């Protein structure tokens, strides 16, 4: 891992089903334009309520990826 | 959303099954007395352990709802 | 101020005009049901963007008021 | 503790004598209207000074209580 | 809002006039290259002082926008 | 609960499946050497990404247990 | 800016009119005794409420100034 | 309280007896050189241990006082 | 204090009487197995409520002690 | 500095040698694609351990740069 | 890294020379009793001053290591 | 250390060379007017970038010193 540099981007993924699915959706979208993704960090969990029920989980996360020189 | 005012209440939901179920239980209970619930924010995740196993997930959350003038 | 007890409620006020107007809107609404309001504390400032412009400032604040015994 | 839901309220108790007395005053007042109080969490300690001496300790706390369905 | 993914960028806007103008300047600049901006969150307020007066308000904010798949 | 003393240890559990499974793995491992475990607190959620997918959820948690005198 | 040293002082400015005016009042007062003020950082926004209206905005800020050797 | 400006200083008071006594010691010392002290905020509680017992409580606090123009 | 290394452990002490007694109980218990305890830091103050009264103060603290090589 | 807008990106630099070298490596890499870099803020310091020794310091930092209109 | 569990311990290393040397001293001491150390996280940097000069840097860090089942 | 009181001041030291040199510069300057300095705490690390290179490290620190009665 000699002297690698990483960049972190901040995303919000959403899913009607679970916290994990919201994270997966964000990472799947990020993977369309980012290569070498290495880790994620959850920085917040929220959600929308409609008609008294959870409509979507919304997970804020940072995704770290290696920058190629 | 013209000049709406929202109020937030802080709840703790519990469930033996999952983080999501604990959130859902809190929101279901809140919905018995609160109308116009709009969003939630998770502010903490804890749980009780009994006999070396998770007995309950306990999720602290804030629920925001629109106040009618 | 002998042994007074205060309660704090958490509100979100919104306004298309300014941070101050969003705070004022929240306090005006709170004053309809709360007496003896004494202070507020801003805990977050957010807003919605529509068509590339600020549609509403949204200020999260706590309002403290004296509880009568 | 099966699937219980708890609510938390934020209070400020004051006392000229001690941190503990300020907490007790807040809980005594809360108990007049809240049943099933279960725990408290101190979130801040402040106080007023008059003539160079402590006039009141002011303790900010959250009180958690079980909500009955 | 089915399964949308959002990205957040962190900006600092400045203005000699007000906190609101500094936010607006940052959002106006961001809008030149970012589509579908949806919300902002203020994460810090600072400023420069020259000759004993405020020269510029500097507001640090995050802007969230929807990523198209 | 008269005058009990508790100790907290900080762990990181991992699982390819879910946040809950990562917590359970950490608690199961801790239970091999710690008796009287009473509660846990999640202090962080991260994960590793491999080939554009989540390889492991990694949940940082504190586990509290009663110390016997 | 070779090896300069700065000192920061913490102030609270108040104004019945706006957040900006409260900051300006604090800086104007500080300028009576501090030279070489360079920047400020807002660390809190509060206010007093009287008769259901905002009586004063109170902005807590730190002011940084260059110390001359 | 028209447009008053306050300054805050950060102190650490110590006492072998209690948290309250450590706060009082800090305020008594501050009062020798500061007039118009108005409030304090506790920002940390620590202490030294000697021979397995508490030797001193050490309370970090900020003291706010009105600055005269 | 040449190049000493310290370790910190996190404890929760409880007492029906006061914050200070809860801290003392935790340190007394820790001293049964830890030598060279040097300082403590309070990281949280909570408590249990029973029948509308404080049953126990619970103080979370870290205890630092010198590790011998 | 009239009404400039800045953007901040979050990076992680690594170096086997020192905290400063890790920061420098991140900034050197960032400079390949970013112009007008103006300041950095360290937001975390971590590192990897191999065979009981520090293999790499890893410094998380934000880099701010001026956005040209 | 299938389902590994890690434990974190909190240490304070000191050195008269540099932040890095203080970290190294803590990790060297920890390595005498802990196997499989994997990473560290700096959580605070302090130091002692004697006769107007830095006597020791003191770095608080957490060290993570893999627990073997 | 019977009942001593300490005061803390907040400084920013700068140096083109290293984090440690920036701290030393701040403490050397502080020592010109402050006696009995006892410890420092780093509260932030930043720096300026010029022409793509680090021009200065800027370390924010608090310095504690004993106040004589």
Does residue I12 contact residue I29 with C-beta atoms inside 8 Å? no
Q: What percent of chain F has pLDDT over 70?
A: 96
Q: Looking at residue G2, what is its pLDDT?
A: 59
**Angular region, F17: left φ>0, alpha ψ -120 to 50, beta rest:** alpha
- Written as six digits, the tokens of F5 are 């003393």
Q: Is the pLDDT of residue A3 over 90?
A: no
Q: Determine the Cα–Cα distance for residues H54 and D52; give it in Å rounded to an integer.
A: 28
Q: Between chains, do D14 and C7 touch, taking CB under 8 Å as contact?
A: no
Contact partners, residue B33, CB within 8 Å, separation at least 6: none
CB of H47 less than 8 A from some CB of G? no
In angstroms, what CA-CA distances link G45 with A39, C9, H5, L14, L67? Answer: 36, 16, 14, 29, 31
Q: Determine the Cα–Cα distance for residues I33 and F68; give it in Å rounded to an integer.
A: 11
Q: Determine the Cα–Cα distance for residues J23 and J44; give it in Å rounded to an integer.
A: 11
- pTM of the shown model: 0.96
CB of J29 less than 8 A from some CB of A? yes
Q: Is the pLDDT of residue F10 over 60?
A: yes
- For residues L16, L17, L18, L20, the Cα torsion angle rounded to the nearest 10 degrees is -100
Q: Is the pLDDT of residue C1 over 60?
A: no
Does residue F1 contact residue F12 with C-beta atoms inside 8 Å? no
Q: Looking at residue H2, what is its pLDDT?
A: 59
I34-43 per-position pLDDT tens digit: 999 999 999 9
Q: What is the CA radius of gyration of chain K?
A: 14
List, for chain L, all residue ranges whose pLDDT scores fall below the cut of 50: 1
Q: What percent of chain I has pLDDT over 70?
A: 96
User: Distance from CA of residue B7 to its chain's centroid?
Assistant: 14
I7-56 per-position pLDDT tens digit: 999 999 999 999 999 999 999 999 999 999 999 999 999 999 999 999 99
- For residues I43, I48, I52, I54, the Cα torsion angle rounded to the nearest 10 degrees is -60
- For residues K23, K29, K33, K39, the Cα torsion angle rounded to the nearest 10 degrees is 10
Does residue F24 contact residue F63 with C-beta atoms inside 8 Å? no
Sole residue written with tokens 């015994």: C69
- Paired with E27 in beta bridges are none
User: Which partners does chain J have (≥3 C-beta pairs < 8 Å)?
Assistant: A, E, K, L
K46 CA to chain L: closest CA distance, Å?
4
Please list the alpha-helical segments (H only) found in I1-69. 19-30
Q: What percent of chain C has pLDDT over 90?
A: 93
D28, with CB counted inside 10 A (0-12, 13-18, 19+), is: middle
Model confidence band, residue F3 (pLDDT cutoffs 50, 70, 90) = confident
CB of I18 less than 8 A from some CB of D? yes
Q: Is the pLDDT of residue K1 over 90?
A: no
**Which residues on G lie below 8 Å from H3 (Cβ)?**
14-16, 25, 56
Does residue C2 contact residue C57 with C-beta atoms inside 8 Å? no
B12-32 per-position pLDDT tens digit: 999 999 999 999 999 999 999
- For residues L3, K45, A41, K27, the Cα torsion angle rounded to the nearest 10 degrees is -110
The arithmetic mean of pLDDT across residues C27-48, rounded, is 97
Q: Do chains E and C touch (3 or more CB pairs under 8 A)?
A: yes
The arithmetic mean of pLDDT across residues G17-37, rounded, is 97
Model confidence band, residue J2 (pLDDT cutoffs 50, 70, 90) = low
- Written as six digits, the tokens of I16 are 């029906």
Does residue A15 contact residue A25 with C-beta atoms inside 8 Å? yes
B52-67 per-position pLDDT tens digit: 999 999 999 999 999 9
């Amino acid at each position: 891992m000699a002297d690698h540099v990483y960049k972190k981007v901040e995303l919000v993924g959403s899913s009607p089903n679970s916290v994990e699915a919201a994270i997966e959706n964000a990472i799947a979208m990020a993977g369309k334009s980012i290569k070498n993704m290495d880790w994620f960090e959850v920085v917040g969990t929220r959600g929308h309520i409609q008609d008294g029920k959870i409509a979507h989980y919304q997970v804020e996360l940072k995704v770290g990826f290696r920058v190629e020189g």
